[in-house]
Structure 1
Amino acid sequence: MARIGRIPSDTLRDVDRRIEEATGAQLRRCAGSRRRIERRLRELDEEVELESLLDHNASVIASLGVMVGALVNRRLPSVPVSWTASLVQLAARGWSPLEPLLRRLGIRTAREIEIERVALGILRDDLDRLPASLGSRRFSDNAIRIVHH
């Protein structure tokens, strides 16, 4: 289950802005086409959010570190210990040292993915209510603005 907003955005503002601009570009590409909106919604169902990535990788790294430490080198459990310390920080402060790197790679938070999902829903509903002659860019920009506020 997604935990929207669990990780605050401590990322550099330009990285956040780049991710938001990419979301806006996706919305503009989808505006006016029910088929593109539906396809994008399916893509969002498959997108891995930052929170899940941190959680899942933590268990894999911890397990591998313990196994390698037991079989190869007894000093290697420091890897899962340091990762576990990172998880404690994530739970306590809502931040992980890996967050800035993952954000630079374009990994979005559950909240950001949900914002796009809701904006796409608004655009899909608008197709039924608005005249086709109006520009799709205006509605895609309005949809993301509505969801953000």
Structure 2
Amino acid sequence: MLPSTTSRVERNTADSVNRHIRQQTEENVAYFAENPHEIERRLHELDHDWDIERTLEANAAALSLAGITLGATHDKRWLLLPAAVTGFLLQHALQGWCPPIIFFRRRGIRTSKEIDQERYALKALRGDFGGLPASGTASAHERASKALMMVR
């Protein structure tokens, strides 16, 4: 059976890497809980973050074009590169894993779900949703923890 679309990358990523990505998100939210005047800027940055899917697609396209170009102009054996890349892309689509995933995830490239968790936690801190204590009634750490719990 194929894994679900929303969890397949995380399920195929080392626990230590997932933990590091989660910790970085928690640190980001905690920072903005203490600096709410910067939330708008961070939300704008998140709108421009590349998720793992976009990163893999761009990587696969660039390698495929390079392989086709080199195959057409230098040596036909270069055509093995786009064949391998296409296989990896199919493997990723079906299983949520392919060799480049290890490289990109270790560098902190997140899934769209992971990016959205930070986005919605920040929106909760900003007051877009009900159920979050006001900044004067709870510490920034408590508000950040509550915001993250709300979006998980």
TM value normalised by structure 1 = 0.88
Structure 2: gaps of 5 or more residues? none
* Cα distance in structure 2, aligned partners of 1:67 and 1:73: 10
Does structure 1 residue 52 correspond to structure 2 residue 54?
Answer: yes
CA-CA distance at 1:35 after TM superposition: 2.0
Per the alignment, residue 16 of structure 1 pairs with 18
* Cα distance in structure 2, aligned partners of 1:68 and 1:103: 29
Per the alignment, residue 141 of structure 2 pairs with 137
CA-CA distance at 1:50 after TM superposition: 0.5
Structure 1: gaps of 5 or more residues? none
Tell whether the 8 Å contact from 1:6 to 1:51 is kept in structure 2 after alignment.
no
* Cα distance in structure 2, aligned partners of 1:113 and 1:131: 24
* Cα distance in structure 2, aligned partners of 1:44 and 1:22: 14
1:93 paired residue among 92, 95, 105: 95
Find the residue that maps to 1:31 and give its secondary structure.
Answer: helix
1:84 paired residue among 83, 86, 104: 86
1:22-60: per-residue Cα shift (whole Å, max 9, x none)? Answer: 100010110143321111111111111001110122112
Tell whether the 8 Å contact from 1:69 to 1:75 is kept in structure 2 after alignment.
yes
Change (3 A) 1:17 1:129: closer
CA-CA distance at 1:67 after TM superposition: 0.6
Change (3 A) 1:108 1:101: same
CA-CA distance at 1:12 after TM superposition: 1.0
* Cα distance in structure 2, aligned partners of 1:139 and 1:6: 26
Find the residue that maps to 1:137 and give its secondary structure.
Answer: helix
* Range 8-17 or range 89-98, more displaced: 89-98
* Cα distance in structure 1, aligned partners of 2:80 and 2:148: 44
Change (3 A) 1:17 1:38: same
1:86-117: per-residue Cα shift (whole Å, max 9, x none)? Answer: 01111222222211211111111111000100
* Cα distance in structure 2, aligned partners of 1:104 and 1:75: 31
TM value normalised by structure 2 = 0.87
Find the residue that maps to 2:98 and give its secondary structure.
Answer: coil
Per the alignment, residue 150 of structure 2 pairs with 146
Letter in 2 for 1:8: V
